[in-house]
Chains A and B, each alone.
Chain A
C-alpha cells in the first residue's frame, strides 16, 4: 500500500516492525481469504457438477460419477420433437411474444411519463414501483380461474399477455429511466430542423435508447424463459408445455431411469439464458451513457 506515506506518518516505529510483521501478516490474511474464496467456489460448483457429468453419462444415477468415456448418447436420445424440440419451441414462442409485448407497451407508456408533466404522473410511477414488488405468484389462482372460465387456458396469446403484464411495471420503470437519459435538447434540435413528433421519436429517441430496449427485452426474455409456475398452471395440454414444465415432468416420471437425459435436457434448456445473460452483462455497462449525444 502506501509504504512511503506510512513511514512519514509514523517515524517513531522501528523499521523492522514495519518491514516484516505487517507483510507476513498480510500474506497470511491474503492466503486465508484465498482459501475461503476457493471453498466458496467449491460450494457453488458442487451441486452443479452432477448435472454436467450425468448429461454425458448414459447410465447416470443420482450419485456423482465421472463417465468414462463421456458420451453424447443422452443428447441423441433426448433430441426428439416430443421430448425436446416442441417444449423448447413452446418456451421460445411464449418468451418472445411476451417480451415483445412488454417492450412495446413499456416504451409507449414511458414516453409521456418521461416527457410530459402529467397530473397523475407521479402517482402512476409510485403505483408502478409498488406493482413491481407485488408477489405475482399470488395472482395465479384468480388468473387460472378467470382463464378457465373464458377458455383462455392452453393459449400462447393469453399466457404471453399475462406474462407481459406481470413484467410491465419493472419494464416501464426501466424504460422511463432510459428515456429520461436522452437529453431533451436533442429532440428540440430535431424539431427545429423540421422533424415531426413521430420522426423525432423514431429517428432520435429510439436509436438512443436501443441499448435500453435490448436490456428490457433480454431481461424479460430470461425471466419468461425461466418461468415455471405460470405455464405450469395455465397449460394443461402436453403439446403446449414449456421446457421448464417438461423438465419437471421428466424428472418425476422417467427420472429414475434416465437421469442422464434429464440432465442433458436441462443443459440445453439453460444454455440460451446463460448466453443472453453474458450478452446483457456486457451491454449493461454502456447502456446508460448518452453523454456522447450532446455537444456544446
Chain B
C-alpha cells in the first residue's frame, strides 16, 4: 500500500509531483474547483446555520418584542423596543444574576476546579499505584456521570435528613441547612466535585511531559520540593494553566442542570445565575422575550470569552 517504487518511471513521477501540492494543483478527477468543498461541507454548514445562526438572529428579534410563552402575546407579539433590556437593568435582576454568575465561575472554575485539579495532580505524581488509581477513579466517576445524576445525588446528600448532616453529627456539629442558608456554597461545592476531574487529567498529563532531568537537576542543587515546584514546575506549566482556565471557564458559565436540580435558583434569587434566571423568566414565569434578552447577555459574555480564548491561543500555530 505505502510502497513507493525506488525508481519510478517518468509519467508516474510527473503524476506524483502534481499530487504533492494538492492545494495549488488541479483538483482530483477534474472536479470543479468549488464543488470539491461545497458538497462535503454543505451538510455541516446547513446544520450550523439552521440550528445555531438562525436561533441567534431570531433571539435578537424576540428580545425586542413582548412575546410570552402562552396566550395572546404568544401568537401576536408586538414590538416594544428596548423595554426588556431596560427592565433587565432597572429591576436589578441582571446585577444580582451577573454577580452570582461571577462568584460561581470564579469560585468553582478558577479557584476550585483549577487549584484542586493542580494540587491533586501534583500529589498523584509518583504516588503508589493503588492510591493513585483510587483517587483517579473516584474523582473521574463524578465527572463521567450524566449531569442530572450528580444533581439528584447532591440533592439527597444535602437534604435535611441526608448523609451530609449524618456526617456533621458524627463529628459533633449540629444539622446544617446548606441548600437554604448558603445555596451558593452548595452549588459551587457540587460543581467543583463534578468537574475537577477535567483539570486534574490535563495537569497530570502536563506534569508527565515535564523533563524529569530538569527537576532532578534542581533537587540535586539542593532545592526543596516547594522551591522546585515554584521555580521549575509552575513556570513550565504556565501555558497549560492558561489553557485549562479557558477550557473550564466556558462550560462553568453555562452550568444549568446542577443548579436547577439543587436549588432551582433559589431560595428566592439567591443562586439564580444567568442560565437559571433565563430559564425561570422564560418558562416558569412565561416571559419568553424577557428570558431571551437574558440569554443574549449570556451569549454575549460567552461569545466574548470564546473570541478572546481563540485569539489568545492562536490555533494556526498548530496547523500543518
Interface set of A (CB-CB < 8 Å, partner B): 1-2, 5-6, 9-10, 29, 33-34, 36-38, 40-41, 43-51, 54, 61-64, 101, 104-106, 108-109, 111-118, 122, 125-126, 129-143, 145-146, 161-162, 164-166, 168-169, 172, 180, 184-192, 196-197, 204, 222, 225-226, 228-229, 233, 243-244, 247-248, 251, 259, 262, 266, 269-270, 273-274, 277, 293-296
The 9 closest A-B pairs by CB, nearest first: A133-B306, A226-B146, A165-B51, A109-B44, A112-B37, A135-B254, A135-B302, A64-B163, A142-B59
Q: Is the CB of B148 within 8 A of A41?
A: no
Q: Identify which of B40, B152, B307, B310 contacts A266 (C-beta below 8 A).
A: B152
Q: Identify which of B2, B51, B220, B298 contacts A9 (C-beta below 8 A).
A: B220
Q: B54 near A: Cβ within 8 Å? A: yes
Contacts of A106 in B (CB 8 A): 44
Q: Identify which of A61, A139, A186 contacts B59 (C-beta below 8 A).
A: A139
- Interface of B, secondary structure class, is helix
Q: Is the CB of B295 within 8 A of A141?
A: yes
Interface set of B (CB-CB < 8 Å, partner A): 1-4, 8, 12, 15-16, 19-20, 22-24, 27-29, 31, 36-37, 40-41, 43-45, 47-48, 50-52, 54-56, 58-59, 62, 67, 120, 123-124, 127, 131, 134-135, 138-142, 144-157, 159, 161-164, 166-167, 190, 193, 216, 219-222, 225, 250, 253-254, 256-257, 260-261, 275, 278, 282-283, 288, 291-292, 295-296, 298-299, 301-303, 305-307, 309-310, 315-316, 320
Q: Which residue in chain A gives the minimum CB-CB distance to B125? A: A33
If A138-B254, A169-B48 are given as contacts, then 15 extra A-B residue pairs at C-beta distance below 8 Å, sorted by A number, are A33-B127, A44-B193, A62-B163, A64-B163, A111-B40, A112-B41, A133-B306, A137-B254, A139-B52, A141-B59, A141-B291, A143-B55, A228-B148, A244-B147, A273-B146
Contacts of A164 in B (CB 8 A): 47
Nearest CB of chain A from residue B282's CB, rounded to whole Å = 5
**CA of A54 to CA of B219 in the docked complex: distance in angstroms?**
50
Q: Which residue in chain A gives the minimum CB-CB distance to B225? A: A29
**CA of A209 to CA of B163 in the docked complex: distance in angstroms?**
47
Q: Is the CB of B220 within 8 A of A229?
A: no
Q: Is the CB of B145 within 8 A of A274?
A: yes
Q: Is the CB of B306 within 8 A of A108?
A: no
Nearest CB of chain B from residue A283's CB, rounded to whole Å = 15
Q: Is the CB of B288 within 8 A of A145?
A: yes
Q: Is the CB of A270 within 8 A of B250?
A: no
**CA of A47 to CA of B301 in the docked complex: distance in angstroms?**
32
- Interface of A, secondary structure class, is helix
Q: Identify which of A2, A62, A142, A248 contacts B159 (C-beta below 8 A).
A: A62
Q: Is the CB of B157 within 8 A of A47?
A: yes
Q: Which residue in chain A gives the minimum CB-CB distance to B143? A: A277
Q: Identify which of B47, B59, B123 contacts A36 (C-beta below 8 A).
A: B123
With contacts A63-B163, A109-B40, A247-B148 taken as known, whether A41 is within 8 angstroms of B134 at the C-beta atoms is: yes
Q: Is the CB of B216 within 8 A of A2?
A: yes
Q: Identify which of A104, A134, A143, A197 contacts B28 (C-beta below 8 A).
A: A197
Contacts of A113 in B (CB 8 A): 37, 41
Nearest CB of chain B from residue A288's CB, rounded to whole Å = 13
Q: Which residue in chain A gives the minimum CB-CB distance to B197? A: A44
Q: Is the CB of A142 within 8 A of B292?
A: yes
Q: Identify which of B8, B138, B155 contacts A41 (C-beta below 8 A).
A: B138
Q: Is the CB of B43 within 8 A of A50?
A: no
Q: Is the CB of A122 within 8 A of B316?
A: yes
Contacts of A191 in B (CB 8 A): 15, 19, 28
Nearest CB of chain A from residue B82's CB, rounded to whole Å = 18
